[in-house]
Chain A
Amino acid sequence: MSTGPVRLRAGTDLPTRTYRVTRLDLVRYAGASGDFNAIHWSDRAATGVGLPGVIAHGMYTMGLAARAVTSWTGDPGGVLEYGVRFTRPVPVPDTDDGTEVVVAGTVKPAERDGCVLLALTVTCHGDRVLAQARAVVRAG
């Protein structure tokens, strides 16, 4: 499947991107972002607040979905608006394989001139982890 930029015409279904997420990725994201909340690296901390175990940073999942967006558009600076609602945590087991986040997208018309809206569907094991996930991007 192509991983390069796509022609952004309303009605197009974008090629789905699948990203593997391991504990190492969360540790790396914690360092890069400065978000050291222990629920993202310590099972003890996560279960202590009622979670099943370590979960991904919401902003990490949002970052992965943005990674899909820029892979489709080819110009990361052409993202003009981007928003999500965090609906469900992404548990990341302490295994070599971790888990997978899948990002699908559809191109829709945008209200802004020269732009399109990318409506994203972001899932983990079939569950939607982000809702109302949308980016308004320059159509190029």
Chain B
Amino acid sequence: MPLDHSYVGRDYPVPEPYLVSREKIREFAEAIGATDAAYVDRDAARALGYPDVIAPPTFAITVIGLGAQLMISDESLGLNFGRVVHGDQRFEYTRPIAAGDQLTCVVYIDEITSRGGHDFLTYRGEVRTTAGEPVVTGRTRLVIRGDQ
């Protein structure tokens, strides 16, 4: 069944702030094999002008994913996750995520279209500090394959 286009504009705020730890950044950096000193060495991060170790660019998805998970589990939207393919991903950074950040995230459904029996859903994850400072915006396009 095609997705209900009236869900455009719906938002999914993550209820609790995400506290970014040095250990989580290290774990994520190691998982992609990245050895940049700024991910693990506070002095190296400070030398580049950051208050503490910073996270790899795609770490933002772990925060935005919490909001996306709320959208995916919204039964009234009815996204069949078994049929979902990640189509596009973009990030626009105001600044890198750093250890010690307390982040909020709201996921907004920006667009739903249907074409050729498939649905396309674009959502935007806005990540800010709990003080309201913008940090990163993610834009994701999902393809929901239709019944063949």
Residues of A within 8 A of B (CB): 19, 25, 28-29, 31-35, 49, 58-60, 62-64, 66-67, 69-71, 75-77, 79-86, 132, 135
Contacts and interface: CB of A to CB of B under 8 A. Distances in A.
B65 A76 contact: no
Contacts of A25: 31, 33
Given A49-B82, A76-B39, A84-B89, A70 B65 contact: no
B56 interface: yes
B147 interface: no
B1 interface: no
B48 A83 contact: no
Most buried by B among A29, A32, A62: A32
Most buried by A among B58, B86, B93, B139: B58
Contacts of A34: 62, 65
B28 A33 contact: yes
A83 B61 contact: no
B43 interface: no
B90 A82 contact: yes
Interface size grouping (class) on chain B: 20 to 34
B57 A66 contact: yes
Contacts of B10: none
Given A66-B58, A70-B56, A86-B87, A77 B28 contact: no
Contacts of A28: 30-31
B109 to A, nearest CB: 19
Contacts of A71: 36
B96 interface: yes
Contacts of A58: 86, 89
B77 interface: no
B95 A81 contact: no
A63 B62 CA distance: 12
B92 interface: yes
A86 to B, nearest CB: 5
B38 A76 contact: yes
